[in-house]
Chain A
Amino acid sequence: MSLVMLSVAAILFAVGTYLILQRTLSRVIIGLGLISHGANLLIMLAGSGPANPPVILATETPPIADPLPQAMVLTAIVITFGITAFLLALALRSYLLTGTDAVEDDIEDRRIARHGQSESEREAAT
């Protein structure tokens, strides 16, 4: 495993995290995309590292790459595509209906949070 690729995975995770921790939905989608790139890279790193393709009839000179992580990553790439498309549709719908693609606070949750505050404040006041 090479230092540079592990660092790349870590940075992809860090930037992705930074992007999902705010409210603009389209940026959140980009953040998720970066995180999934990072995760795919981690899976590949757990495999064999730089090697020849696991295609038996074409190349049989070792080292041959571990095919299992590749199959997993292939699945992950396509699934991420499906999820991204779905989230993009969600962001678009949110924008067309509300005029913003920001994720607002959950109203019910805010109500619960306020309930707790007012309870404890009332207790403190008496």
Chain B
Amino acid sequence: MIPLLVLHVAVAAALALFHRRLGRWAFVLGAIGPAATLLWALSIAGDVIAGSPEIDSFSWVPSLGLEIGFRIDSYALLFLLVIAGAGLPIFLYSHRYFSASRRATIFAATMLVFAGSMTGLVAADHLLVLFVFWELTTISSYLLIGYKDEEASARSAALHAALVTGAGGLAMLGGMVLLAGEAGTYVISELIANPPAATAAVNAGWALVLIGAVTKSAQFPFHAWLPGAMAAPTPASAFLHSATMVKAGIFLVGKVGVAAAGSADWWQPAVLILGGITMVIGGWRALRQHDLKLLLAYGTVSQLGFIFLLMGSGIPELVFGGVALLLSHALFKATLFMVVGAIDHETGTRDLRRLSGLRSSMPRLFWVAVATGLSMAAVPLTIGFAAKEAAFVALLDENVWWVAAAAAASTLTVAYTGRFLIGAFGTHHPDREPAHGSALSVRNTLLSAPGSLALISVAVGLIPTALFPLVDSATEAVTGISKAGKLVVWPGWVAALAWSLASLSIGLVLAWRSDLMSRAGDRVAVVARRLPDAENVYRRSIPALLRFADSSSSLLQSGSLPAYLAIILIVAVVGPTVAVLAEGPTLLVPENGSLLEWMLGILIVGFAVSLAFVRRRFAVVILLGGVGYGMAGVYSVFGGPDLTLTQLLVETLVITLFAFVLRHLPATFARPATARLPRLAVALAVGAFVFGAGLVVNAARQPSAVAASYLEQSVPEAAGGNVVNVILVDFRAFDTFGEITVLVAAVLGAAGLVVPVIRNARSRA
């Protein structure tokens, strides 16, 4: 695993280094990454599917128990195959798609970094490792969407995607920390095997993880970034935004679904509802698009919703259907994106109102599109049909309403598939010339990559049982149940088939009478405009966020030192106070104190309080000295002759230094400019806090064993009777060494600050 990741990074770095020489061949070189993943995944596939996961770990910081752990079970293997299987043809396709330029090479390097991150993400067995790879995919997605960085729309789409998925990632990190804290482990396989019991923290943890998955997989209400991400060049859309990255959220909910549904009872309904809404909204919006790529993007949103609800449910039968759909979706959606890319590349447009007659001018591309489009529409004899049947059968066992919702979404899918195929390849303007002007044949690589995926799609559609071991084993890896579903060419006359056929036929009618559809759609759109639109909400929330940042920083970052100190002190007082009051503190009942203590106390307080009022500088020096000498007396009462001695000597030197400095300054202080009352309030709060803290802390304090052992060991171990000195020069000598180093630094700093300035002042005088 680790060599594989290193290979990705190394090749990506090489591409970036030699971008001048490589040109478009960077993509061919970059294909090494997915090719190596594919070969490796196939080489371990036999063992992994049989049930022995491939485990690889690297001890990073052993003293902290930080391990970079990887564990490839058949669930992870499935994703590895999808990543590499989609990645390899897409890289080869990009070789033809891009014209040679420096930026194309960097694009290739970024795609490769993404492929490596995605590989690491699905293989990770440590929550934090997963998080790091998760964020790496977010960053590479940002760079790829913003490829056309001279276009403002591409930049803002990239930012939108990065903000939404990045914020989701942060939420997920918080959730992971909460969960790991409750479960006592960061290792994913252990966490899933023993999910923590449902406490408030665990519930919050699962909710935050779900937010991460929802944003990453573009689920309602965060789905708006995915259509925006279509600003990316088509290879990136095919790779990241249909086949792999958006599946990361699905990967996560699939992986933790059983554990989460077991420990939080709201998880299953939440996943089903979010996925269900996404599925219907996405299908509906897809029908209303004119841009072929946006049509596919909304279709992706819809299908992600369906897979999300299946995989996240934690019900083995549904997960089985979800895994099957995920495979079929990767096969047909990546292919269709590449078909759109080819059309765009050859004709210069993706608008289905302008395209016409491509069936005759691009016959081979047409058949590739049809073969995979049928799979998207789940027409019998395709893998899409087999997968959807498995899902329908499972849903029907659970609840008839869920199958009805899924059938409604399927109807929309059939309809937009029809719109896609007819719109892209049909002849709408027989009188007009086709948009590209002349009949073209699509270049070989632009055709062979989607063509090869289409061939695989058709092959597994005819023999779906070939995929069964993989799907079944992946399902078993996350749910523990094998043979939860079936993948068959023809299911026989079962109830689920009725739903499929009904959605298929209604969908066909809708596709046929697209004029009726669009008129009905206009009417719905009038109503829908009044509802909050996810994209508008995002667009309006960004300026609001910026305004909030502005006003809060002008409040907090005023530039005034007293204000900063006051904020810090208030937080330092309020935070612990709230925490202690919430716990219900035990207070120590203090003794009154001896007469000597009272006298010293009154002396110190008298000096200290007058310090607040006196404005003559030299009086200040004397009062400060009074406080210091008083403290020396207190140390003496407390049995610290060393302290008394040191305090007396230090105080003497401090007075000298103050005298040195104050002789340069005016005799009185300027009247403070800051308001007196707030200062007094903060000061009293701090004083009261210290008083309370003294009572609380000392009530909780146990006599320290360290002190006793120091007293015992002082003479035998260090041959010293003055235990305080022995602590300083022996037991804790390292601390003292640090201290004298600090002293040296302070003196050098003070001398450096002052000497040149004083000399300068003297020479001028």
Contact = CB atoms under 8 A, between A and B. Distances in A.
A and B touch in the complex (CB under 8 A): yes
Interface in B691-717: 691, 694-695, 697-698, 701, 704, 706-707, 710-711, 714-715
Contact of A21 (B562, B597, B638): B562
Contacts of A70: 638-640, 642-643, 724
A38 B631 CA distance: 9
A119 B639 contact: no
B641 interface: yes
A14 B721 contact: no
Contacts of B727: 67-68, 71
Nearest to B617: A26
A116 B554 contact: yes
A65 B638 contact: yes
B704 A66 contact: yes
Nearest to A103: B561
A88 B646 CA distance: 20
B553 A71 contact: no
Interface string B742-755: 11001101110110
Contacts of B736: 75
Contacts of A7: 601, 605, 691
A68 B749 contact: no
B594 A22 contact: no
A1 B669 CA distance: 38
B66 interface: no
A104 to B, nearest CB: 9
Nearest to A88: B661
A117 B647 CA distance: 49
B646 A74 contact: yes
B722 interface: yes
Contacts of B609: 11, 15
Interface in B637-694: 637-643, 646-647, 650, 653-654, 657-658, 660-662, 664-665, 669-670, 672-674, 679-680, 682-684, 686-691, 694
Nearest to A22: B672
B746 A71 contact: no
Nearest to A106: B559
Contacts of A71: 724, 727-728, 732
A50 B594 contact: yes
Given A6-B691, A79-B742, A53 B641 contact: yes
A10 B732 contact: no
A125 interface: no
B591 A109 contact: no
A119 B53 CA distance: 57
Interface string A69-87: 0110111011111111110
Contacts of B612: 15, 18-19
Chain A: interface secondary structure? helix
Interface in B551-588: 551-555, 557-562, 565-566, 569, 588
Interface string A37-70: 1101110111111111111111000001111101
Given A13-B690, A70-B642, A19 B634 contact: no
Contacts of B559: 105-110, 112-113
Nearest to B722: A55
B532 interface: no
Contact of A6 (B553, B590, B758): B590
B407 to A, nearest CB: 48
Nearest to A105: B559
Interface stretch (B11-19, B134-142, B432-440, B620-628): B620-628
Contacts of B680: 18
Nearest to A102: B670
B149 interface: no
Contacts of A97: 757
Nearest to A50: B637
Contact of B550 (A57, A101, A116): A116
30 contacts: A1-B588, A5-B634, A15-B608, A18-B679, A18-B683, A19-B612, A24-B672, A26-B617, A33-B628, A37-B631, A40-B631, A41-B634, A48-B638, A57-B715, A65-B638, A65-B640, A66-B704, A71-B732, A73-B635, A79-B739, A88-B660, A89-B751, A89-B753, A95-B665, A100-B670, A109-B557, A112-B554, A114-B554, A116-B555, A119-B550
Interface of A: 1-15, 17-24, 26-27, 30, 33-34, 37-38, 40-42, 44-58, 64-68, 70-71, 73-75, 77-86, 88-93, 95-97, 100-103, 105-110, 112-117, 119-120, 123
Given A13-B687, A14-B690, A75-B728, 4 more contacts: A1-B590, A86-B749, A86-B753, A88-B657
